[in-house]
Each structure stands twice: as structure tokens, then as C-alpha cells.
Amino acid sequence: MKYRCTRDAADIVSFQDAVLKGLSDKGGLYFPMEIPVLEEDFFANIESYSDTEIARKVLAPYVEGSLTSEQLEWVVEETLSFKIPTVRVADDCYILEVFHGPTKAFKDVGARFLSRCLSQFEKKADQDTVVLVATSGDTGSAVAHGFYGVPNVQVKILFPKGKVSPYQEFQMTSLGGNIQAVEVNGTFDDCQAIVKACFDDESLRSKINLSSANSINMARLLPQMLYYFFMYRDIKAQLASKKIVVSVPSGNLGNITAGIIGKHMGLPIERFIAAHNENDTFPKYLQGEAYTPKPSVQTYANAMDVGAPSNYERLAHLYEGNLESMKKDIEGISYTDEQILTEIKATQQDHGYLLDPHAAIGKMALDELVSKDEVGVFVGTAHPQKFSEVIAKVIPDYSGPEVDLSTCEKISMDNSLAAFKKILLS
């Protein structure tokens, strides 16, 4: 499989190069040149496949030429070390629980897959790869755990001071080893700007082998397709003749883009809903406004606090800029913090199911947009324990795990590229 840059049809690279580069030279993203359609037999018999069998089948074409089938088998087995169940919440309403990994959010799958791919590519290199990642919380913790102890790879995580939960900060700063957390006196967008500036800095890139672990990286995005294949396998027998609608709590749009690639491979999902918090750039676009990235605003669903969703560029590429055809596959909607709290409380009371703030948005979107002759699935992107401070506002006796930050290690710096370069080169 070859990948091409969204901004330059002549920039065509292998899977390995797409992963190592992250962003293209022109600042574009890489996207598969073709999306293979899987044979009907596979979907007809999907119940008989295990998680790792599905993963090898679905991902093989995307890594061809860069990983052998033995390497892919190892990567997949390392990646899928926990369950990804689909659980019934109400009639024709299911939650796809992707939060059973080590950091209790779905990003574990992408981070584990990326780190294992890098370790396979890097065997012969004489210089460590330095992985840069900007995070509003969940990416950093997943990358920290996904990359911890992986040979030949150093990780620098930039997070905005005071804007991640204590538990997220603990997950990023407690490991040590090849993982270094850098607290930036600024916002998530500032952290992301510093990472982007490092990639644009030719002289820095000539000194250091830089790679990115943000959701722009194809190796983080692709394995996320698997959730949707597993879900289909697990609820297929309950569908009768109803079609599936999937609501994805979205920020950078990586997870939903992966699901949509799955749909284009033949996975029988009727349509997707991009469910957003008050950062509503993408829903507004789908409703007909010009695409206008905005600064992010802070919400209770903070892993989705993204005002300029980077994977919009991949979706625009996939649909060749045609809004009408994109709208056939994707609807968009957004919700306020107040609505999140009401939903958490109502779902706990009505169905005995405790939602985290992100899943609450997914469920509200589904309840609003699914029709009677469809089966709705929303993605549970984080474990409620991760957001206990929010949940405690409506369920007063709820508490999350205790964390002790006193022994954790982080570097603090001002919002400045120069300050970060000093850290990188020291």
C-alpha cells in the first residue's frame, strides 16, 4: 500500500515513511491511495473470527511492503492485549466500550500499535527516534504507556499546565524511563503549535530523528478501524434486518475517520454521527457553514477540546471536497457541558449505566438522530473513573482512583519554541 499527501498528489510514500514522517513536507497528512473492499464472505462469517484474526485480515493491506505478515501478527497481538466489548444499554442501543486498556481510554490501541510498528522499523537505526506529542490529556497518557520501555524510542509529551486531570497527569508523569512529560504554560493549541514548529524546523530535523504520535499519524488511526469490525461481529446476531448507526464522540476526528474507512471497506454501517462538545467546528461545517477552525474552548469532555480538527483534511480528501457525499455518511451535532451532566445522571437513573462525559455526548447524539428502524451504537471512549471530578457533580458519592503526584517527574516551561528546543537538544 502506498500513501499520498492530502496537499500534494506527487508526494507518495510507503506505510513506513508515512508513519515515520507523521506530517508531510507540505504540512499535509498521508492517506491510503486506495481502500480495499473485503470479500462478502468475510462479513458473512465474521462471527467465526477472533480479534487478532480480524485485525490481521483488515490491516494486512495497509502495512504491505513495510511489515511482514509475521511482524504484523506480533504487532497486532501486542496491541490487542485487552477486551473491546459491545454492551447493551437499552433496546437497540449499545455502547462500544473501547476503554479497557491500560490508561482507560481508546487511544491505547493506536498508541500501542504505533509504538510496536516503530520498534519493528527501527531495529537497524543507529539513532533513537524522538517521538513528539501534544496532548489535552488522553493522548499523552496513552502514548506514555504505549511507548514505555519500547527500545530505540524516546518520547516527549507536551501538555497544558492545569488543564489535564490529576489522573491524566499521573499517567503521563509517573513512568520515567524513555518517557518525559513537559508542562507548558499555555493551552493545548500552544502545545500543538510547538510540535508543528519543530517539524517545520529543518535544522532541528537534521539533528534529531523526529516522529509524531499525534492522531495525525496513520499508525494511530488505522487500528482504530478494528473497534467497528469487532462491534459488528458482536451484535450481528441481534440486528434482525436493522441497519447500524454509530455515534462517535469526536475531537480531532481520528476515530471517526477510521470507522469511515472501515465502512468503505465494506463494513455494514449505515452512517456515522460526529458527536462534539462546544468545539463545534465540524458540525457547523456539515450544516453548511464554511470550514472555519477556531481556538479550542475548555469543556467537561476535555479530550475533545479541539477547535481545528486535524483529520478534517483526510475526510475532505476522501470525499474529494464534496460536502453532499460526506453528508450521506456523516452527520454532526454538538452539546454543552450542562447537557453532559444531565445525560450522565439520566442514564445512570434510567439504565443503571454510568457514562463518562465523552460517551454522554455520543449517547445524546444517538438518541437524537437514530430512527426506530435502526440499531444505535455509541462509542464509550473513556472509562468514567477517568473523569470522576465531573461525574461527582451529579453523582455526589462518586470518586475516582487516588493519585499521588508527589513522586512524579515533569519539566515545566514557558510557551516558547526556543525553550522546548533547549530541552530537546540537551
Ligand X SMILES: *Cc1c(COP(=O)(O)O)cnc(C)c1O
> In the numeric block, which cell numbers belong to residue 310?
486535524
Compare residues 173 and 252 and give the one whose CB is closer to ligand X: 252
Cα–Cα distance, 309 to 325 (Å, whole number): 19
Count the Cβ atoms, other than its own, within 10 Å of residue 87: 11
Task: Count CA within 13 A, CB hemisphere, residue 190.
Answer: 17
Q: Is 381 in the site for ligand X (CB under 6 A)?
A: yes
From 254, 332, 376, 400, residue interacting with ligand X (rule: CB under 6 A): 254
Least distance (Å) between residue 105 CB and ligand X = 4
Among 4, 21, 56, 107, contact with ligand X (rule: CB under 6 A): 107
CB of 388 to ligand X, least distance (A): 14
Closest CA to 18 of 36, 3, 7: 3
Q: Is 108 in the site for ligand X (CB under 6 A)?
A: no
Q: Which residues of 266-297 are buried (b: 16+ CB within 10 A; e: fewer)?
A: ebebebbbbbbbbbbbbbbbbeeeeeeeeebe
Nearer to ligand X, 112 or 358 (CB): 358
Backbone angles phi, psi at 372, to 5 degrees: -60, -30
Q: Near ligand X by CB under 6 A, which window of 111-119, 193-201, 251-259, 363-371?
A: 251-259
Nearest approach, Cβ of residue 124 and ligand X (Å): 32
| Residue whose CB is less far from ligand X, 32 or 140 | 140
382 near ligand X, judged by CB under 6 A: yes
Per-position DSSP letters for 259-307, written without gaps between them: HHHHHHTT----EEEEEE-S--HHHHHHTT-----------SSGGG--S
Which of 32, 101, 251, 376 binds ligand X (CB under 6 A)? It is: 251
- Residue 209: exposure state from Cβ atoms within 10 A (0-12, 13-18, ≥19): middle
Q: Which is nearer to ligand X, 67 or 333 (CB)?
A: 333
* Region near ligand X per CB under 6 A, out of 160-168, 253-261, 347-355, 364-372: 253-261
Report how far residue 218's alpha carbon sits from residue 416's, in angstroms, rounded to the nearest whole number: 28
Site membership for ligand X, residue 29 (CB under 6 A): no
Residue in 56, 145, 317, 358 binding ligand X, rule: CB under 6 A? 358
Nearer to ligand X by C-beta: 178 or 296? 296
Find the farthest-apart pair of alpha carbons in the chain and give their distance in angstroms, rounded.
61
Fill in the amino acid letter for 139: T
Task: Select from 66, 250, 279, 296 the one that contacts ligand X (CB under 6 A).
Answer: 250
Give the three cell numbers for residue 369.
438522530
Cα→Cα distances 303→16, 102, 242, 343, 357, Å: 28, 17, 32, 18, 10
With beta carbons less than 8 A apart as the criterion, state whether 132 and 193 touch.
no
Q: Which stretch binds ligand X (CB under 6 A): 113-121, 198-206, 245-253, 330-338?
A: 245-253
Binds ligand X (CB under 6 A): choice among 253, 273, 344, 377: 253
344 in contact with ligand X (CB under 6 A): no
Which among 17, 214, 220, 229 has a CA at the least distance from the CA of 116?
Answer: 220
Position among 80, 219, 304, 340 found at the interface with ligand X (CB under 6 A) = 304
Q: Which of 86, 103, 168, 252 binds ligand X (CB under 6 A)?
A: 252
Give the C-alpha separation, 263 to 265, whole Å: 5
Q: Between 92 and 331, whose beta carbon lies closer to ligand X?
A: 331
Among 255, 299, 347, 388, binds ligand X (CB under 6 A): 255
Does residue 303 interact with ligand X by CB under 6 A? Answer: yes
Please, what is the minimum distance in Å from the beta carbon of residue 127 to ligand X? 30
Residue 138 is a binding residue for ligand X (CB under 6 A): yes
- Rounded to whole angstroms, the Cα distance separating 222 from 241 reads 29
Verify binding: residue 334, ligand X, rule CB under 6 A: no
Task: Kindly state whether residue 212 participates in binding ligand X, applying the rule CB under 6 A.
Answer: no
Residues that bind ligand X (CB under 6 A): 105, 107, 138, 215, 249-255, 303-304, 358, 381-382
